[in-house]
Amino acid sequence: MTLDPTDWTAFRQQAHVMLDDMLDYQQHLRQRPTWQPLPSAKQPFFQQDSPLEPQDLPQVHQEFLDHILPYTIGNPHPGFMGWVHGGGTPVGMLAEMLAGGLNVNAGGRHQAPIQLERQLLAWIRQWFEFPPQASGLFVTGTSMANLIGVWVAQRARLGPCLRAQGLAGQTQRALVAYASAGAHGCIAQALDLSGLGTQALHLIPMNDQFQMDPGALRARVRADRAAGLEPFLVVGTAGSVDVGAVDDLADLAALCAQEGLWFHVDGAFGALGCLSPQLAPRFRGIQRADSIAFDFHKWGQVPYDAGFILVREDTLQRQAFATPAAYLRRDTRGAAAGSPWPCDYGPDLSRGFRALKTWFTLKVYGTRALGEMMAHTCTLAQQLGALIAAQPRLELLAPITLNIVCFRFRCPDPNTVNAQLLIELQESGLALPSSTTLKGQFALRAALVNHRTTLQDLEILVAAVLRLGMKLAPKPD
Ligand SMILES: *Cc1c(COP(=O)(O)O)cnc(C)c1O
């Protein structure tokens, strides 16, 4: 019994309809609200019994159009500025379809998709000036990539016995790691998952540019050593999630070299800025990292999900994960050739073909245009900063380093008013910023990651914030 169509002609027609629907969606995004809440009347749709009987494909597709498509968070929309989400592209969408058609399992073996992943690794090495023996792996996202970075650093420090004996077998002093107080929460989570615990991550205060304070880091490393702890890892942030700050990576690299520490960079969205000659100088020092975690699905606009971990020393990444198994026997010829395989570089065995949509995106747009697009979002951020500065009722809450703008409406009780304003703004469908808290101040946060966003979208945002702000708090403070 096969699951293939009995009538391929009808199926083909329906397939073209579905493709056209999605192309229409992408072409006419602007005519939709940025976001709209899922109406409660739609809830029963999500509470049905498991389908025992078959249903026609066109009918299921119609349900998708009615109940799912209109109610995503909206990150492809030009008005979306929430969190740090990429917009995706029509090219990436097509590549996803091709990958789905091939149904590749890219865990390993002798096949072109693995070669393509190695080709991408070679390009990525060049971008970050990493040596030929550097290894890398596509993963879900930077949360996983950071976790792999921490695992490799930990295993490199503690040696191979860790894998058999676990932390219980350790007689060494307790390991500690360092990151900026503005580091993403997944760094602490990575310390947790590595068994070292979140308390093994020492958060270093930031300077007024929201960068990790290098003096404070040096002092803390020395103090920890004196207290009998064993520093092993510094995580630099290249594009902080709150405000887009970039740590002084060259300085962190120098400190790590002096102190014998692993230097990992969380470059989730920022690292790809190296593709822009204009932005690259801000990431100086990233070339000296021991490992870099970053996403193609944010600034790179590759459809979700596509994260990457790059490690300077292939052997260290492989020693951290490779696990022999009889059913994963390698050969020099035949389908099981081509060792080492991607599954030797991380915890996943079966994995999808993330390299394909990334390859299509890089090839079709070229890295020059992608770099220009990223630099353009930074220009837009400066323009938004200027629009805010021109309005006495608005104020910036952090310097604009890259493409993230934190600001608020000025009024009495600004934390309460701006939180309310944000919800009403999101529900208006006009624009979708998110929020963060900076030094106790609630901030509206516009992360300009989407390649579709224009100056016009920023003007819509500012006008809407002013209108809602005046409604909620007519009098200035
Ligand atoms: C988005 C982000 C992450 C997490 O990446 P995911 O791809 O969402 O897992 C980590 N660090 C920073 C700085 C980020 O912006």
Helices 185-193, 142-158: axis angle to 10 degrees equals 40
Atom of ligand 1 nearest to the CA of 144: 9
Number of the ligand 1 atom closest to the C-alpha atom of 145: 9
* 174 to 227, 228, 230, 260, 360: CA distances (angstroms): 11, 8, 6, 16, 45
Report residue 430's pLDDT band, with 50, 70 and 90 as the boundaries. very high
> Which ligand 1 atom sits closest to the C-alpha of 146?
10
Choice among 52-56, 72-76, 157-161, 405-409 with the minimum mean pLDDT? 157-161
* Per-residue pLDDT tens over the stretch 386-424: 999 999 999 999 999 999 999 999 999 999 999 999 999
Query: Cα of 174 to ligand 1 centre, how many Å?
Result: 27
Residue 43: the pLDDT is 95
- Give the total residue count for the chain: 477
Going from the Cα of 142 to the center of ligand 1, the distance in angstroms, rounded, reads: 5
Residue 71 is predicted with a pLDDT of 97
Ligand 1 pocket check for 266: Cβ under 6 Å: yes
Provide the phi-psi class of 239: left if phi over 0, else alpha when psi is between -120 and 50, else beta.
Answer: left
- E strands of 150-289, at which residues? 175-180, 201-204, 230-237, 262-266
| Centroid of ligand 1 to alpha carbon of 240 (angstroms) | 9
Strand, coil or helix: 122: helix
In degrees, rounded to 5, the angle at the alpha carbon of residue 358 between the alpha carbons of residues 357 and 361 is: 85
Average pLDDT over residues 26-48: 96
Indicate the burial class of 474 (C-beta count within 10 angstroms; 0-12, 13-18, 19 or more).
Answer: exposed
Task: Specify the pLDDT at position 170.
Answer: 85
Q: Is the CB of 211 under 6 A from ligand 1?
A: no
* 96 CB within 6 A, ligand 1: no
* pLDDT at position 324 over 90: no
DSSP annotation of 206: B
Residue of 138, 186, 286, 298 to test ligand 1 pocket, by largest number of atoms within 8 Å of CB: 186
* pLDDT reading at 477 higher than 80: no
Per-residue pLDDT tens for 248-270? 999 999 999 999 999 999 999 99
> Which residue is it, tokens 């945002």?
461
Note the pLDDT tens digit of each residue in 200-241.
999 999 999 999 999 999 999 999 999 999 999 999 999 999
Using a 6 Å cutoff on CB, does residue 449 contact ligand 1?
A: no
Which residues does residue 135 pair with via DSSP β-bridges, in sequence order? Answer: 311
Indicate whether this model's pTM tops 0.95: yes
Q: Which of 92, 114, 94, 90 is nearest to 104 (CA)?
A: 114
Distance 180 CA to ligand 1 centre (A): 15
Reading the block at residue 253, the tokens are 């690299």
Ligand 1 within 6 A of CB of 247:
no
CA–centroid distance, 9 to ligand 1, in Å, is: 43
**What's the pLDDT at 436?**
96
What's the mean per-residue pLDDT of the chain? 97
Confidence (pLDDT) at 157: 96
Nearest atom in ligand 1 to the alpha carbon of residue 269 is 15
Residue nearest to atom 15 of ligand 1 (CA): 241
Over residues 431-443, the pLDDT tens digits come to 999 999 999 999 9
Q: What is the pLDDT of residues 129-184, one digit of tens each?
A: 999 999 999 999 999 999 999 999 999 999 988 999 999 888 888 999 999 999 99
Give residue 333's pLDDT band: very low, low, confident or very high (50, 70, 90).
very high
